[in-house]
A and B are shown apart, each in its own frame.
Chain A
Amino acid sequence: MPELVAFVLLLAITAYSTAGGVDFGAGIWDLLAGASGKSKEARALIDHAMAPVWEVNNVWLVLGIVVCWTGFPLLFQEAFLGLYPLFALALIGLILRGAFFAFRHIAEEPRQHRAADLVFGISSVLTPFFFAATLGAIASGNLASFSPMSIAFGLVSVAATAFSGATFLVGDARRYGAPEMLDYFRRRTIAAAAALIVTGTAALAVIAAQAPDLLKAMLAGKGLPFALVTMVLTPAVAFLVWRRIYVWYRVLAVGAVGSLVFAWAFAQSPYLIPGKLTIDQAIAPQPTQILLLIVTVVLVLVIVPSMALLYYLDQKGALESTY
């Protein structure tokens, strides 16, 4: 059963990396849209795509934290004792992002508006970077906030969020029938896929140098199937989008990012912190595990249909109104 709880934690992390990642990605493109040309249109599309769902995405993060401290109190303690600088930075990024997303809409003066866009965009880059850096620091086993591993993980995550963000914006551009924006984000999907492949390869080199055991498990052990999936899916999505074959490309992009997270997690299992803390050492007493699993089941039974309703109404246009 401890493994099941660990899996729930992994699912929360994965959900945040993918659903939240799409969101951060949109923010990154918002930043990169700059101030010229199509930026206004791109930004309007990004707003349009994000508005009703971003808070829901944020909940995955809270859920992950709660599962972590409830299910694996010692992991939580060690991670925060060691990595408080990264968590603090990620947190500050997150607040600035949330606040300035909501408030950029009230900035009427163009200069203020521009400043709000900028803060929103920059924090959309920094937040996933620092979050993923904590995972890198954990994966390295020595919980140093700023190490080659933490930076490598951070960079990969920025590329990954830009990638999944772009594919979803392609979808939104299609949905709203905006041919120019479609091409705009098609190009960006392909570029981001390339960036993901480059940073991913570089990260593997860093892992080879810093945590050879982890690399072995990723490329020859339990992480392999997932690593393979990412390696195949990333270029596949780029290909589909390039050839304008609009089937499955978003699901595949989510799959690519999700299995990247899985590859790391499975490679280091049964360790939560390699060489230091295993799942069995950190797990909470059994009744707590049971409650967590019950909560998870309820979550699936209640939240999934609710979420489906939200996305359904959203796609149907029932939530289009200005109120």
Chain B
Amino acid sequence: MTDAVWLASESALLPSRIQMAFTLAYHVLLVPLGVALPTLTLLMEGIGIFKKDETAIKIARRWSVVMAVQFAVGAVTGTILSFEFGILWPRMMGRFGAAIGLGFAIEGLAFFMEAIFIGIYLYGWNRLKPKVHFALGLVLPPVGLVGAFGVLAANAFMNTPGGITMEGDRLTNVDVIRALFTDALGYEFWHFVISIYMTAGFMVASIYAVAWLRGRRDHYQRLAFAVPFTFAALLAPIQLVVGDVSARALTDNQPAKFAALSLTWETRDHNPEVVLGLMGNAGQIYFGIVVPTVDSLLVGYSPATVVKGLNSFPEDTRPTIAEANIVHTAFDVMVGLGTIGALLALWHLWSMARRRRPPDNKWFYRLAALAGVGSYVAVEAGWVTTEVGRQPWIVYNLMRVSDAVTSAPAGFVWTMLGTLVVIYALIAFFFISLLLRLAQRWRKEDEGAPEVGVPYGPRPKAFEAGSA
């Protein structure tokens, strides 16, 4: 048999999982700025309007351009995701669409509003009165939150399905409220919302931390750094608490996921906390630091707390060892970065409280410059924890990933995946080069060159050839 025939007869499970993971991971890179940047921009515009600070207005304007480009890419990659539910997982949607879809229907509303008002906000800068412009922009933050709620309701349903009645394989009734507000929603939603606001704040601020390191210390730089950084710094410590709530909730809701992320093999009390490290096929731990009893303490505040181990679940209902190692590593990365971020935040807040400005310290700015990227890594790691930890289920305890997958040939999905990788690389290239160009242009403007229009969807003043 030739390779082509072999590929064509293979199940599409593997490429489908890779494709889903790849496109989701990509899309979620756009979400923090998509949902949270409007808030930061409005904050800045508000400072500009109410304190009559032209610099703040200028910063807000520039951020809004980034917001729009970002939104466009988010919309494109998000649309792809919704198709992938059909192309890759048609049977999940066939069986559970009436429940999973609820969140997405609400999300649809929110995206609609977002698209409209981003259009108005971006194109309204010059012609609308400042306060009208600001007021119209105020629609964006709540709408973004509603959108996030919708998607997370769908995801929470996959993790802790509820509110449905099944007869055999057929979903016969849905309790809308319970299917939207499933057990996981509470912690997933708040943890996620905080993470995107934090990420947006750290990311934006990190640009100006770099500017500081390069020697720029004017009002512009100080404002553009301090506002988003303070915003994120206020959230970072809270995130530790909320993340802790998530982890503890998993011991009830998805014990196999918890066993994977804590690398617990045997069910036991005095369960040790494993920091980093890998698990072997018989549950032995390599490399990591094993701290006795601490996991039990963290879960139930008592050394006697019993933690369920992976081997207490039938093998085909829990993550594999390889998956458990991925989940555990991702979890540790998230927690580690979250802790560093919170410490950095406290340093900043302490300095702000004492001297009303950020620390004048090179190391502070070096870390701040890394905080943006670090947050993104934490977000990705968090999703890997959630999604891989759910394996082998697509809808927890109700449907396996392998039962949901398309019957399209593997070769088709591999081809599509390859195409998407190329296209996404192209999009990333364009996106980044556009941002770099914007930055360069703004730098020139700050050195005295006149302001020019934005390159994104520009509407030339007159469209006559030549001026366009």
Contact = CB atoms under 8 A, between A and B. Distances in A.
A, B co-complexed = yes
A244 interface: no
Nearest to B126: A321
A71 B105 CA distance: 10
A284 interface: yes
A95 B76 contact: yes
A299 interface: yes
Contacts of A313: 120, 123-124, 128
Contacts of A53: 119
A87 B83 contact: yes
Contact of A44 (B83, B107, B465): B465
Contacts of A96: 423
Nearest to A283: B98
B111 to A, nearest CB: 6
A285 B174 CA distance: 6
B171 interface: yes
A285 B173 contact: yes
The interface centre, meaning the residue of A47, A73, A96, A320 with most chain B CB atoms within 10 A of its CB, is: A73
B463 interface: yes
Contacts of A91: 79-80, 83, 87
Interface string A303-323: 100110110011001111111
A48 B72 CA distance: 17
Interface in B377-429: 406-408, 412, 416, 419-420, 423, 426-427
Contact of B457 (A51, A292, A317): A51
A319 B171 CA distance: 47
A127 B98 CA distance: 28
A32 interface: no
A69 B430 contact: no
B424 to A, nearest CB: 9
A311 to B, nearest CB: 10
A3 interface: no
A70 B430 contact: no
B127 A322 contact: no
B458 A105 contact: yes
Nearest to A46: B463
Contact of B101 (A47, A69, A77, A321): A69
Nearest to B102: A291
Contacts of A48: 459-460, 463
Given A51-B457, A102-B69, A319-B119, A69 B86 contact: yes
Given A69-B97, A80-B90, A106-B430, A303 B116 contact: yes
Interface string B81-92: 011011100110
Given A87-B86, A302-B113, A66 B174 contact: no
A173 to B, nearest CB: 10
Interface string B423-464: 100110010011001000000000000001111111111111
B102 A62 contact: no
A265 B175 CA distance: 30
Contact of A299 (B83, B107, B112, B466): B112
Nearest to A96: B423
A106 B80 contact: no
Given A77-B93, A285-B173, A318 B127 contact: yes
Interface string A33-64: 00000101101110110011101101101110
B104 to A, nearest CB: 5
Contact of B127 (A66, A94, A321): A321
The interface centre, meaning the residue of A96, A98, A319 with most chain B CB atoms within 10 A of its CB, is: A319
B17 interface: no
A98 B465 contact: no
A178 interface: yes
B112 A310 contact: no
A317 B126 CA distance: 11
A62 B82 CA distance: 7
A298 interface: yes
A306 B116 contact: yes
A288 B101 contact: yes
Contacts of B270: none
Interface string A66-110: 110111011011111100110110011011101101110110000
The interface centre, meaning the residue of A61, A66, A88 with most chain B CB atoms within 10 A of its CB, is: A66
A101 B87 CA distance: 25
A65 interface: yes
B86 A44 contact: no
B95 interface: yes
B94 interface: yes
Contact of B87 (A88, A284, A321): A88
A176 interface: yes
The interface centre, meaning the residue of B87, B454, B466 with most chain A CB atoms within 10 A of its CB, is: B87
B241 interface: no
Contacts of B87: 80, 84, 87-88, 91
A65 B107 CA distance: 12
B83 A65 contact: yes
Nearest to B77: A95
A98 B456 CA distance: 12
A74 B94 contact: yes
B203 to A, nearest CB: 21
Interface in B29-59: none
A299 B109 contact: yes
The interface centre, meaning the residue of A41, A77, A96, A313 with most chain B CB atoms within 10 A of its CB, is: A77
A92 B176 CA distance: 34
B109 A303 contact: yes
B96 interface: yes
A298 B110 CA distance: 11
B93 A69 contact: yes
B113 A303 contact: yes
Contacts of A284: 97-98, 101, 171, 174
A298 to B, nearest CB: 6
A58 B465 CA distance: 28
Given A52-B457, A55-B115, A62 B93 contact: no
B456 A105 contact: yes
Given A55-B115, A80-B86, 12 more contacts: A47-B457, A52-B123, A59-B115, A66-B101, A84-B86, A88-B416, A92-B420, A105-B455, A106-B434, A288-B101, A318-B124, A323-B454
Top 5 nearest A-B pairs by Cβ distance?
Answer: A70-B101, A77-B94, A322-B453, A321-B126, A73-B97
9 contacts: A41-B468, A59-B115, A77-B95, A88-B416, A91-B83, A92-B423, A105-B456, A105-B458, A292-B105
